[in-house]
Amino acid sequence: MAEPILLDGRATSDIIKTELAETVEKIKQGGGKVPHLAAILVGADGASQTYVNAKVKACHKVGFASTLVQLDAAVSEAELLQEIEKLNRDPQINGFIVQLPLPPHIDEQKVTLAVSPAKDVDGFHPENVGRMALGLDAYLPATPNGILELLKRYHIDTEGKNCVVMGRSHIVGSPMSILLSKNTNPGNCTVTLVHSRTKNVKEITAAADILVVAIGRPEFVTADMVKEGAVVVDVGIHRVADKSKKSGFRLLGDVKFDEVAPKCTHITPVPGGVGPMTIASLLMNTLKTVSHS
Amino acid sequence: MAEPILLDGRATSDIIKTELAETVEKIKQGGGKVPHLAAILVGADGASQTYVNAKVKACHKVGFASTLVQLDAAVSEAELLQEIEKLNRDPQINGFIVQLPLPPHIDEQKVTLAVSPAKDVDGFHPENVGRMALGLDAYLPATPNGILELLKRYHIDTEGKNCVVMGRSHIVGSPMSILLSKNTNPGNCTVTLVHSRTKNVKEITAAADILVVAIGRPEFVTADMVKEGAVVVDVGIHRVADKSKKSGFRLLGDVKFDEVAPKCTHITPVPGGVGPMTIASLLMNTLKTVSHS
C-alpha cells in the first residue's frame, strides 16, 4: 500500500508566510500602511502565552506590525472592555484578538461581542459568523479557514465528497461544517456533523471521504472508524506525559495516527498539521484588514 | 400499517396564534405597547402580494398592529433604502420585513444589510444569522424556526436522530441544518446537508430518521428515497396546472406525498404544513421585538 501524503501544515504555512512577506514588501514600496495586529493576553497561562507569542512572532516574520497588550489575571471585566474599546478606536491597529480562555470572572461572550466586527480577525463576532454563513466577505475563523487552505494547496478534490466533521464547537466544528457545505472550492461537500449525542458514530465516520476531527479527545479516532482511502484532518492537540522525552511530554492528536495513517491517502500530522495553518490563517485575515480600510 | 400522523401546520399555527392573542391581551391590560410589524412590498407580483397579505392578516388576528408599505415596481434602490431607514428609525415600528424577491434592478443583499438587526424579524441580517449559529438570542429565520416549533409541538424526539436536510438555501436548508445540530430540544440531531452536488442522494436520504426537504422541485422525493418510519417535513410548494380543479391548479410539495406518506410515522401535508408555520414563526419573532425594546 502506498504511503499516505502528509498534509504538512508547517511547510504550507511557511509558503503562505513567504507570500505574505512579499505582499507586505509591495505595500511598503507603494507607500501603503503595513497591517498592524494587536493581541490582548489576560493572565500568564502557559499555553495561552505560547500561542500569543507564536502569533506575535509570525507577525514579525511577515513584516506586520504587532502590539501585545498584557493584562493582569485580576483585571476586571470593565477594564478589559475598556482596552478593547481603545483598540476598536485606534486607527493604527487594523485588527486584534483577545486570547482565550479568559479568567472565570470575565464573560467571554461579552468580550467577543465588544470587538468591532471590522477588526475581528479571529472571526468570532456574530456579524462575521453570519457573513461567513451567508457566503459574504468575512473574517473567517482561523482554524476552519486554515484547513480549507491546506486542502486547497494540496489540491484535494472536495466536490461531492462525503465529509464528516466531528465536533460542533463554535470555533472549529460548526463553522467547518458550514464552510465545507458551501458552493465553493474547496467546498461542495456533503457534510455530516457528528457530536456527543450522535448514536452511530463509527458507521458515519467509516463512510467519510474526508474526515475532520475536532473533539478534543486524545487518539479517539481509531483505524476501524476510517474508510480506506480517506483524507483525515486532525485538529486535536494534547500534551501527554512521556518520560522518554526530554520535555517530559509528547503531543497527540484526536486521531490515533499510527494505525489510521496507513488507511489514508492524506493525513495531517500532529504537531505540524492544522496548528501552523491556524496562525497562517490569522495572518491572512490580518492582511485583509488593510485591503478593507 | 398504521396511518402516518399529519404534522398539521394550519392547526398548530392556529394554536400559536391563539396563544399570541392572549399574550397581546395581557400586554394591553398591563398598559404595554402592542407589537407593530411593518411589511414593505415592492411591485405587484401575485405570489408576493398573497404572502404579504397573509402576514398582515395574521398580525390583525393576534392583535398586533401592522403597516403595509407598498412601493411601485419601478422604485429605485435608493428610495427603497430610504424607506428602510425610515422604518429603522420609527419608534412605533417594532419589526419589519421586506418581501422578497425584489425587482432585478435592486440588490437584495444591500437591502438585507440595510435592515436594522434589532428590527429584522425575518432573521436575514448577518448579525442575526451569526447569533443563531452561535446559539445566542436571535430572530430565527421563519421557516426553519416554524419547523422546529412543529416538531416540538408534536413531541418528535430528535436527540441523536439522523437528520437529512435537502437544500442549502440561506433562508431554509442551511439554517435548518445549523439549528437541528445544536445542543437544544428540538435539536441534537446528527445532520447531513444534501445539495445539488451530492452524489449519493438516495442512499443518504434513505438513512434519515428525519428528512427535511427544501429543494424547490415538485415531487422530487419518492418512496424509495425514504426510510420506513421516517419523519418527513416538506418545505416545497408548487402550483401545477390542473384542469380538474376550479382554480385551474393544485399545490404540490417537494415530496411525492401519496407514495411517501405510508412509509412515515409523521409527515407534513402540502398545503397546510410548513407554510402556516412560517407565518406563525414570523409572529413569534414580532412578539419578541417588544420584550427586547
Contact list in B for residue A200 (CB cut-off 8 A) is 162, 190
Distance CA B111, CA B106 (A): 8
Distance CA A5, CA A15 (A): 18
Q: Which residue of A has its CA nearest to B164?
A: A192
pLDDT of A46 reads 85
The chain-wide mean pLDDT, for chain A, equals 96
Question: Which neighbouring-strand residues pair with A234?
Answer: A213
Tell me how close the Cα of A36 comes to any Cα of chain B, in angstroms.
Answer: 26
Q: Is A182 in Cβ contact with B168 (below 8 Å)?
A: yes
- pLDDT tier for residue B292 given thresholds of 50, 70 and 90: low
Q: Is A133 in Cβ contact with B174 (below 8 Å)?
A: yes
Question: Which neighbouring-strand residues pair with A97?
Answer: A39
Residue A265 predicted with pLDDT over 60: yes
pLDDT of A216 reads 96
Residue B190 predicted with pLDDT over 60: yes
pLDDT of B216 reads 96
Q: Decide if B142 contacts B122 (C-beta within 8 A).
A: yes
pLDDT digits (tens, 9 = 90+) for A87-97: 999 999 999 99
Q: Decide if A237 contacts A253 (C-beta within 8 A).
A: yes
pLDDT of A253 reads 98
- pLDDT tier for residue A44 given thresholds of 50, 70 and 90: confident
Helix %, strand %, coil % of chain A (to 5) = 40, 20, 40
pLDDT of B291 reads 73
Question: Is A142-275 the same fold as A31-121?
Answer: yes
Residue B16 has which C-alpha cell? 400559536
Taking each continuous run of H as one helix and of E as one strand, the counts in chain B are 10, 11
Tell me how close the Cα of B161 comes to any Cα of chain A, in angstroms.
Answer: 7
Q: A142-275 belongs to which homologous superfamily?
A: NAD(P)-binding Rossmann-like Domain (3.40.50.720)
Q: Decide if A286 contacts A94 (C-beta within 8 A).
A: yes
Residue B112 predicted with pLDDT over 80: yes
pLDDT of B1 reads 58
Give residue A26's identity as a one-letter amino acid code.
K
Of A109, A132, A188, the CB nearest to B197: A188
- pLDDT tier for residue A293 given thresholds of 50, 70 and 90: low
How big is chain A, counted in residues?
Answer: 293
Average pLDDT over residues A189-209: 97
* Contact B177/A at CB under 8 A: yes
pLDDT digits (tens, 9 = 90+) for B233-270: 999 999 999 999 999 999 999 999 999 999 999 999 99
CB contact set of B46 (below 8 Å; sequence gap of 6+): none
Q: Is A190 in Cβ contact with B193 (below 8 Å)?
A: yes
Provide CATH code, domain B30-117: 3.40.50.10860
pLDDT of A45 reads 85
The residue ranges of every structural domain in chain B are: 30-117, 142-275
pLDDT of A1 reads 58
Distance CA B205, CA B260 (A): 12
pLDDT digits (tens, 9 = 90+) for B138-164: 999 999 999 999 999 999 999 999 999
Average pLDDT over residues B30-41: 96
Residue A2 predicted with pLDDT over 90: no
pLDDT digits (tens, 9 = 90+) for A47-66: 899 999 999 999 999 999 99
Task: Spell out a b/e string for A233-251, using b for 16 or more CB atoms within 10 Å of the CB, else e.
Answer: bbbbbeeeeeeeeeeeeeb
pLDDT of A184 reads 97
Q: Which residue of A has its CA nearest to B137?
A: A126
Distance CA A70, CA A43 (A): 7
Average pLDDT over residues B38-51: 92
Interface of A with B in 75-134 (CB under 8 A): 109, 125-134
- The secondary structure of residue A11, as a DSSP letter, is H
Residue A144 predicted with pLDDT over 70: yes
Residue A77 predicted with pLDDT over 70: yes
Q: Which of B78, B70, B57 is nearest to B282 (CA)?
A: B57
Average pLDDT over residues A16-27: 97
Distance CA A268, CA A233 (A): 5
Provide CATH code, domain A31-121: 3.40.50.10860
